[in-house]
Structure 1
Amino acid sequence: MKISIKPFENDNFLDNIFQRAIFPYRLLQHAVFLSRFAVDNNCIRPHRLPYLLFSFFGVLLFIGFQFLTSYFVHKKGNQAVINFTDVNVTFLIISFITFYSINVIYRKDNVAIIVKIQKAYRAVNFRRYKQAIYWNYFGVFRHFVFYSVCIILMPDVNIAIYFYSIIYFDVYVTYGTSLMSFIRHGVETWISEVEFYCSIETDVEDEANGVFKKLYQAYMDLMDAFCIFKRLFQFSTLYHVVDTFIHSLVFLQTVIEMNKRDIYVGKYNVRHFAQVAVLWAFKNLLFVSMFSFYCEKFYISVTEANAACSRLQKQTNMSKHAKRLCKNVQRFNRAAFRKMTACNIFTVDASMAEMFNRLEVEYIVIVLQFALL
């Protein structure tokens, strides 16, 4: 059987179907001044100075709004609300500056990860774009669901602007989840391609050699994409875990104080504040858990790739090129593959989400115990 090898386009050229798959998050990122890259004439490139200045101006608007919020709360608010606002505003301002800096520093990596994924997709003849498009639109839709519910619970312009500004941070997690899904689907498709080509026979030595070299390079591209992914999202993962943990406890303590003293924030009482606080905490826990879950599914797909290579090497009719591919992939996984960590503090996998949720509940119980004494 003759095996055909399709030539690759230029590395920075994005296929239309791939652009459609990433379009939902590109749209959302532009809405919060957090675009990761530009696409001109179907070619991807890092953002240049004009957009970086525009993005910086948008971040300054978010920061300015936080300062104004703090000013008016200090002018009219109760001490419990002032303490909560001070913690919240300080945390957000530092985070806005840090996240913007990360986006600028790693702007070339933001392009490289997309290029690596698409290059691998071309090599393995990826076909599940329609599913990816649907899930990415759903991922963006989740942001607007949480945002809309918060506005319905507390219909106020200032509160609407506040929740709009913190989408800036949530986009990091949901976009990272989408990229991890892309990489995982690439590995799963790679396994299918390897099994297919190992099941057919060809009399043309050069063609077989070329096919398995192409598949090995595709696997390396996916692993390179994962390495870039770890650099891009290790800090944002740490931020969301710490932010969710601290703010959940601060929210709870503030609600307790407001309830004891019958404090109002504007026209809203403790019931409104508590509803939004619970919704916000649930949203963050959901996003962090989903991110960890998708990372775990990717690790499983790498394990399945190893298992497939071991299984295929036992076949008696395996060509030497196929055996070389399987051995090289297994050698790479043993020597170089490592799970993602959040700034070397904890490993991002399914157990992380479980331990974090358990720790969060334990501390919430402690705060409630002190409140009821």
Structure 2
Amino acid sequence: MRMILNNVQQTVVSTYITNELQEHRINQDFKKIFYPLHLILVITSASRYKIRSDLVTPISKKFIVIQFIFVFGVQIASSLHELIFISNNINFTSDLLYWILIWIGCCLSFVEEFFYRHDNYLLILSFQEIHKAFDYNKRFNSYLTRNWIFVLAVYFFNVLMTFVIYTNPEKFDLLKWISDLVCIKFDVVFIVAYRVLALLTLYVDEWIKCVRRLDNGNNNEPIEFHCEKLLKTYDNIIKSYDMFKKVFQISVLFYTMDSFGRTVLYTKIILNINEYDVDDMLFSSILSFIWFAKNFIMLTIYNVQCEQFYMKVEEAQSASIQFDDRLNSESEKFFRRRILQRNCTFTKMTACGLFYVDAMLPIRFLLLTTNHVIVLLQFAFL
């Protein structure tokens, strides 16, 4: 009797483990799409989930803590070395504010990775559920190609900038160079957020096409079956979007804050450069402008992508309303009603509730930055 109970218990445990593994497993097509994003996160010490042998699992708390200790330790060591041995009295305040900004970024990144580690993992699984509802076509291949282009462009641009900054051997500082390389993670996480949202926008667009094909009667299977399938997919899209907002809102807040803060600080430091050191001032001014242009472009494309997603959600609602004149079954009526209900709870993304992330954000950011730079110039030359 005991042997029978043990066998039953082992069978139940084995079945449970098998089901768990199946839930965590990702298919090859979907893995191929997300691989560039996952790879660049791993390279820059910004991992948010673990993929091994086609299994996706939450990243462990221990690993996140070790990752944070490494990143924050590098920044602390570099900042103390610069503030004590390199920084002069004129730029000490600006240098200190710069390092405080970096410390805040490291801490916010840790909070986002640590407290939303399960959400990051669930977001991948949720995207895979959506992906199963659509046929793998040329648009997904194009999306994969753009993933590689964006992550490689951002990564190598930052690496190139760090090498250009330290072209003068006399000014080379190993700790500061390593610190700058580690800071690439902020750009990487932001571009990953942009690409994830681009994929979500692509899913909504594919969903709209499916609804229009259904509306035209281009399906051989019962319409009730397709309504149920489309409704489930749309629910998953909106749930994934809500999860996306939670997972990346801190990164969006810090990236915007960091872009503004660094621009003002760099301007102040350049204005404090000795007036006789014209070459140094010109070199620093060019690098600062390039860096600001890069951040502004990244903010713009991200916010434009957000706006495109909002517009696609409105288009999805319009596509479902087109059923209004041809409602013949309860399933079709329920489909339209449920889509409208889901859209009633839809809200734009915010940066921790401080401001909306939409097409107006880059304009507001540019105006705010320009006003502060003009004030600094007035104090310097008037």
Counterparts of 1:138 and 1:187, CA distance in 2: 23
Query: Tell me, what secondary structure is at the counterpart of 1:44?
Result: strand
> 233, 238, 243: which one pairs with 1:218?
233
Cα pair distance change 1:311/1:275, threshold 3 Å: same
Give unpaired runs (5+ residues) of structure 1: 1-8
Q: Is residue 2:187 matched to residue 1:170?
A: yes
* Superposition map of 1:7-18 within 5 A: 10-18=22-30
Larger deviation, residues 295-304 vs 128-137: 128-137
Question: Pairwise mapping of residues 254-269 of structure 1 onto structure 2 (< 5 A)?
Answer: 254-260=269-275, 262=277, 269=280
Counterpart of 1:269 in 2: which secondary structure?
A: helix
User: For residue 263 of structure 2, what is the amino acid of its counterpart?
Assistant: S
Give, in angstroms, the shift of residue 82 of structure 1: 2.3
Question: What is the one-letter code of the residue matched to 2:225?
Answer: G
Match of 2:371 in 1: 362
| Alpha-carbon distance between aligned partners in 1 of 2:268 and 2:61, rounded to the nearest angstrom | 43
Gaps of 5+ in 2: 1-20
- Other-structure match for 2:340: 330
Match of 1:83 among 76, 93, 96: 93
TM-score, reference length from structure 1: 0.88
Instruction: Find 2:216's aligned residue among 179, 199, 203.
Output: 199
Q: Which residue of 2 aligns with 1:3?
A: none
Query: 1:19 aligned to 31, 45, 52, which one?
Result: 31
Where 1:80 maps in the other structure, the secondary structure is coil
**203 and 270 in structure 1: CA distance in 2 versus 1, 3 angstrom threshold:** closer
CA contact (8 A) 2:83 2:96 kept: no
Q: 1:242 maps to what in 2?
A: 257
1:157 Cα offset (Å): 5.6
2:302 paired residue number:
291
> Structure 2 length normalisation: TM-score?
0.86
Cα distance in 2 between the residues matched to 1:350 and 1:279:
22
Report the Cα distance in structure 2 between the residues aligned to 1:66 and 1:254, rounded to whole angstroms.
18
SS of 2:261's equivalent in the other structure is helix
RMSD across aligned positions (CA)? 2.3
Give the counterpart of 2:319 among 298, 308, 312: 308
Question: Does 2:284 align with 1:273?
Answer: yes
Partner Cα distance (2:219, 2:78) in 1: 66
Which residue in 2 is equivalent to 1:137?
148
| CA 1:237–1:201: 2 relative to 1, 3 Å | closer
- Greater shift in the superposed pair: 85-94 or 125-134: 125-134
Q: Distance in 1 between matches of 2:213 and 2:358?
A: 31
Cα offset, 1:302, TM superposition: 0.3
The yes-or-no answer on 1:41 pairing with 2:58 is no
The 8 Å contact of residues 73 and 81 in structure 1, kept in 2 or not, is answered as: no
Shift of 1:203: 8.3
Distance in 1 between residues matched to 2:346 and 2:327, nearest whole Å: 29
- For each residue in 1:65-110, what CA deviation from the matched residue of structure 2 results, as whole angstroms up to 9, or x when unmatched? 433xx32443243223322221111221232122112201111100
User: Which residue, out of 345, 357, 361, partners 1:348?
Assistant: 357
Q: Describe the SS at the equivalent of 1:14.
A: coil
Q: Could you give the per-residue CA deviations for residues 205-235 of structure 1, whole angstroms, max 9, x where no partner exists?
A: xx43232111111101110111111111112
Asked whether the 8 Å contact 1:66–1:93 carries over to 2, the reply is no
Relative distance call for 1:56 and 1:201 in structure 2 (3 A) is: closer
Deviation readout 1:263-294 (Å, 9 max, x if unpaired): 9xxxx822222222222222221222222111
SS at match of 2:95: helix
Contact 2:58–2:120 (8 Å) recurs in 1: yes
Cα distance in 1 for partners of 2:336, 2:123 equals 24
> Aligned partners of 1:235 and 1:275: how far apart in 2?
30
Q: Match of 2:186, as an amino acid?
A: F
How many pairs are equivalent?
Answer: 355
Deviation per CA, 1:113-145, whole angstroms, max 9, x where unpaired?
Answer: 111112112123353321121111111122212
| Structure 2 residue aligned with 1:5 | none
Secondary structure of 1:39 counterpart: strand
Structure 1 residue 194 displacement after superposition: 1.4
The whole-number CA distance in structure 2 between the counterparts of 1:342 and 1:212 is 35
Identical columns (%): 21
Q: 228-237 or 274-283, which moves further after superposition?
A: 274-283
Shift of 1:251: 0.7
> Would the alpha carbon gap of residues 161 and 275 (structure 1) be closer, same or farther in structure 2, given more than 3 Å must change?
farther
Post-superposition shift, 1:30? Answer: 1.0
